[in-house]
Amino acid sequence: MKRAASPLYVAAILALCLPAAVSAQSWSDQAVDPAADHPEVPVSYEDDGRYYSEDDSPTFNIGDDGTVDWLTFSGFRRYHSECHVCHGPDGEGSSYAPRIKNSAVNMDYYAFVDTVVNGRQNGNSVMPHFGDNKNVMCYLDDIYVYLKARGMEAVPRGRPAKKATKSDLIAETENACMG
């Protein structure tokens, strides 16, 4: 006679598995299915050129003609200045660092921010902390929404062909941050 697993036993197994399931490795290794339900992705509202999902995390906005919002374009530029030397072109990962275009979808906004600000270490795989780097911190949302768009395959590899103009709010925020 087969013994049915007790609910308590199942819960314990789940609890054991959870920490492993949220390791940096699995964020990047876990494939993204763009067709699946991703509540953090669809635009819920706009604030002068910045787009947010229903849970108030920044997200990308791609027009019908492929025009990307300014933050997604800016994120492309900043990513390929600050991040690609480890994570490879277009968030695709490399022989050195994980495929973070998947991470940007698989981890929530706050976990993403925490990793960039404080860094992360997994053996000899080390993500530096960028908390005191204006070139990253002033463009954190930009990089995040760009990678999220890449992870969802909402923008192709390479430089976005068409972009929205930079809004006054975005310009003011950038200038205030960069000083």
Partner 1 sequence: MKKLFALTSGIALCAGMAAANEDLSKMMEDPGQWVIQTGDYKNQRYSKLDQINKDNVGDMQVAWTFSTGVLRGHEGSPLVIGDTMYLHTPFPNIVYALDLANDGKIKWKYEPKQDPEVIPVMCCDTVNRGVAYADGKIFLHQADTTVVALNAETGAVEWSVANGDASKGETNTATVMPVKDKILVGISGGEFGVRGSLTAYNISDGSLAWRAYSMGPDSDILMDPENTMNLGKPVGENSGTNTWEGDQWMIGGGTTWGWYSYDPELNLVYYGTGNPSTWNPAQRPGDNRWSMTIMARDADTGMAKWVYQMTPHDEWDYDGVNEMILTEQTIDGQERKLLTHFDRNGLGYTLDRVTGELLVAEKFDPAVNWTTGVVMDKESPEYGRPQVVAQYSTEQNGEDVNSTGICPAALGSKDQQPAAYSPNTELFYVPTNHVCMDYEPFRVSYTAGQPYVGATLAMYPAPESHGGMGNFIAWDGKKGEIKWSIPEQFSVWSGALATAGDVVFYGTLEGYLKAVDANTGDLLYKFKTPSGIIGNVMTYTYDDQQFVGILSGVGGWAGIGLAAGLANPNDGLGAVGGYAALSDYTALGGQLTVFKLPN
CB 148 within 8 A of CB 105: yes
Shortest gap between Cβ of 49 and partner 1 (angstroms)? 17
Shortest gap between Cβ of 12 and partner 1 (angstroms)? 33
Type of residue numbered 163: K
Contacts of 60 (CB under 8 A, 6+ apart): 51, 68, 69, 71, 72, 145, 146, 148, 149, 152, 154, 155
Shortest gap between Cβ of 117 and partner 1 (angstroms)? 13
Contacts of 52 (CB under 8 A, 6+ apart): 43, 44, 45, 46, 58, 59
Q: Which residues bind partner 1 (CB under 8 A)?
A: 76-82, 84-86, 88-90, 92-97, 99, 119, 121, 124-128, 130, 132-136, 156-159, 161, 178-179
Nearer to partner 1 by Cβ, of 109 and 139: the residue is: 139
Nearer to partner 1 by Cβ, of 6 and 124: the residue is: 124
Shortest gap between Cβ of 1 and partner 1 (angstroms)? 46
Nearer to partner 1 by Cβ, of 19 and 158: the residue is: 158
